[in-house]
C-alpha cells in the first residue's frame, strides 16, 4: 500500500469518531499505558492474555480509587481503537466492566425549579460570575445542553428585528451550530426577562472587545460544573446533585407543569423520539419531589422572581469580575 493510500485510510477510519471522542479515547489509552509502565511498541509484542490481565488490574485500580466507570470504558475503547487486533481478545476486562456496570449506583441528576434557579444565578452574579449567571437562565429557558450553550457565539444570537431573517421573527433566538441531534438548529427565547438580561450581557461582551466569532459564555464545562457545586454548598442545597444538565431538565419539566404539551417541549428541546421525551418529563417531576429544599432558599427565590431584571442588570454592571475565592453565603431565616 502506498503512503498516500495508507494516510487516506487512516483519515477515513479516524473520521468515524467525533474529534472529542477520539481525544477522550487517546487520553485514557495513554493513562492505561502509564499505569502499566508500557510503551505502545512493547504492547504490540505482548500476548493478548497478558494485555487483558493488565487492563483488568487497571480497571480494578480505577474502581478502588473511586474513579468514574466511564474512565474504564474509555480505556478499553482507546486500547481497541489503537490496536484493532485486540477487539475480541479482552474477555476478562469486558467481564469486569459488566460487573462494574451492574454494581454501580446510578446518580439521577434532578431538574431545578425556576425559583431555585434564580437563587443560583443571582448568587453567581453577586460574586462576579456574570457569564455563568446568564448561562443558567438561558439554559433553563431554551433547554440547552451544556455543549450547546458553550458553542454559542455572538453571531449566533438573533436580536429583535434582526435583518438576517426579516420581519417574520421579532423576538430573540439562538442558533445552535452543532447539537446532539443534528447541525444548524435553533431555539427562540420564551422569557422576556431572560431576553433582556441576555441583551445586557451581550452589550457587556461587546464593550469588553468580544467579536462576532467569540463565545457568548467564555468558560469551560468543568468550571461551570464545579461552580454549580460550590454555589449549591453555599446556599444549603449541596446534598442535591445539581449539574449543568439540571437547567435544561428543569426548563422542560417546568414548562410541562405550566401546561405545554409533550410535543411542544420535544420540538423545543430537540429530542429525536417522543418516547424518550415523555420518559424525561415524567422522571423530572418525580426527581423534583424527591428532594426537600430549605424553606428560606425557596422564599429567597420567590423574592428574586419579583426583581430579577433590575437586580441582575445592576449586578452585571457594578460587581467586578470573579476571582477564585470560596463562596460563603448566608440567608436570613425569616
State mean pLDDT over 306-312: 96
Up-side HSE of residue 121: CA atoms within 13 Å toward CB? 31
Please check whether residues 126 and 221 belong to one and the same domain.
Answer: yes
Do 71 and 148 lie in a common domain?
no
3-class secondary structure, 2: coil
Q: Residue 141 above 90 pLDDT? A: yes
**Same domain? 151 vs 262:** yes
User: Would you state the pLDDT for residue 334?
Assistant: 39
Does 298 reside within a domain?
yes
> Whose CA is closest to 216, among 125, 147, 152?
152
Percent of the chain whose pLDDT exceeds 90: 67
- What pairs with residue 185 in β-bridges? 176
Q: Are residues 53 and 126 in the same domain?
A: no
* First vs last C-alpha separation in the chain: 78
Domain tally, the chain: 2
Residue 288 counted as domain residue: yes
Confidence of residue 332 (pLDDT cuts 50, 70, 90): very low
- pLDDT value at position 320? 87
150 and 47 in one domain? no
Identify whether residues 99 and 124 lie together within a single domain. no
The answer to whether residues 75 and 130 belong to one domain is no
CA neighbours within 13 Å on the CB side: how many for 255? 25
Return the higher-pLDDT residue of 252 and 11: 252
Least confident segment among 135-149, 280-294, 320-334: 320-334
Burial (0-12, 13-18, 19+ Cβ within 10 Å), 275: exposed
Give residue-wise pLDDT tens across range 181-210: 788 899 999 999 999 999 999 999 999 999
Whether 184 maps to a domain, the answer reads no
Query: What's the domain range around 196?
Result: 114-155+189-318
What's the rounded Cα separation, in Å, for the pair 220 and 172? Answer: 24
Res. 78: pLDDT tops 90? yes
Q: Are residues 223 and 265 both part of a single domain?
A: yes
Q: Is residue 134 part of a domain?
A: yes
Q: What angle do CA 95, 13, 50 make, to 5 degrees?
A: 35
Residue 9 has a pLDDT of 64
Confidence of residue 230 (pLDDT cuts 50, 70, 90): very high
pLDDT digits (tens, 9 = 90+) for 155-181: 999 998 888 888 777 889 999 988 887
pLDDT, position 6: 62
Long-range contacts of 90-93 (CB under 8 A, 24+ apart): 90/48, 90/51, 90/52, 90/55, 91/52, 92/52, 92/53, 92/55, 92/56, 93/52, 93/55, 93/56, 93/59
Say whether both 151 and 282 belong to one domain: yes
Query: Based on the domain organization, do 151 and 90 belong to the same domain?
Result: no
- The model's pTM is 0.71
166 in the Ramachandran plot: left (φ > 0), alpha (ψ -120 to 50) or beta? left
Beta strand pairing call for 157-158 and 173-179: antiparallel
Q: Categorize the per-residue pLDDT at 331 as very low, low, confident or very high, splitting at 50, 70 and 90.
A: very low
Predicted confidence (pLDDT) at residue 151 exceeds the cutoff of 50: yes
Kindly provide the b/e burial profile for residues 141-180, where b requires at least 16 CB atoms within 10 angstroms of the residue's own CB: bbbbbbebbbbbbeebbbeeeeeeeeeeeeebbbbbeebe
pLDDT for 239: 87
pLDDT at 333 over 50: no
Convert the pLDDT of each residue in 81-129 to its tens digit: 999 999 999 999 999 999 998 886 555 689 999 999 999 999 999 999 9
Q: What percent of the chain has pLDDT over 70?
A: 90
Torsional sign, CA 107, 108, 113, 118: positive
The neighbour count for residue 35, using CB atoms within 10 Å, is 15
Q: Tell me, yes or no, whether 175 lies in a domain.
A: no
Q: Are residues 131 and 279 in the same domain?
A: yes
Amino acid at each position: 500500500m502506498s503512503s498516500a493510500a495508507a494516510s487516506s485510510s487512516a483519515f477515513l477510519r479516524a473520521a468515524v469518531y467525533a474529534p472529542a471522542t477520539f481525544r477522550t479515547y487517546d487520553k485514557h489509552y495513554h493513562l492505561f499505558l502509564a499505569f502499566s509502565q508500557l510503551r505502545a511498541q512493547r504492547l504490540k509484542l505482548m500476548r493478548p492474555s497478558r494485555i487483558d490481565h493488565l487492563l483488568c488490574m487497571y480497571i480494578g485500580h480505577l474502581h478502588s480509587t473511586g474513579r468514574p466507570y466511564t474512565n474504564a470504558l474509555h480505556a478499553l475503547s482507546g486500547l481497541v481503537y489503537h490496536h484493532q487486533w485486540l477487539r475480541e481478545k479482552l474477555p476478562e476486562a469486558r467481564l469486569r466492566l459488566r460487573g462494574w456496570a451492574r454494581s454501580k449506583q446510578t446518580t439521577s441528576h434532578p431538574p431545578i425549579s425556576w425559583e431555585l434557579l434564580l437563587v443560583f444565578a443571582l448568587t453567581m452574579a453577586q460574586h462576579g460570575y456574570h457569564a455563568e449567571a446568564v448561562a443558567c437562565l438561558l439554559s433553563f429557558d431554551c433547554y440547552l445542553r451544556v455543549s450547546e450553550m458553550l458553542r454559542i457565539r455572538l453571531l449566533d444570537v438573533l436580536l429583535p428585528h434582526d435583518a438576517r431573517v426579516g420581519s417574520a421573527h421579532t423576538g430573540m433566538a439562538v442558533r445552535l451550530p452543532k447539537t446532539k441531534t443534528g447541525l444548524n438548529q435553533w431555539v427562540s427565547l420564551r422569557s422576556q426577562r431572560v431576553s433582556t438580561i441576555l441583551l445586557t450581557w451581550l452589550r457587556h461582551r461587546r464593550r469588553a472587545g468580544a467579536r462576532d466569532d467569540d463565545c457568548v459564555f467564555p468558560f469551560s464545562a468543568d468550571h461551570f460544573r464545579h461552580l454549580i457545586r460550590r454555589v449549591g454548598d453555599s446556599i444549603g442545597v449541596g446534598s442535591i446533585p445539581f449539574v449543568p444538565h439540571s437547567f435544561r431538565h428543569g426548563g422542560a419539566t417546568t414548562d410541562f407543569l405550566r401546561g405545554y404539551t409533550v410535543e411542544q417541549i420535544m420540538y423545543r428541546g430537540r429530542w429525536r423520539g417522543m418516547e424518550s421525551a415523555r420518559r424525561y418529563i415524567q422522571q423530572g417531576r418525580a426527581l423534583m419531589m424527591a428532594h426537600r429544599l430549605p424553606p428560606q432558599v425557596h422564599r429567597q427565590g420567590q423574592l428574586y422572581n419579583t426583581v430579577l431584571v433590575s437586580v441582575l442588570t445592576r449586578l452585571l454592571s457594578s460587581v467586578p469580575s470573579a476571582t477564585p475565592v470560596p463562596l460563603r453565603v448566608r440567608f436570613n431565616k425569616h
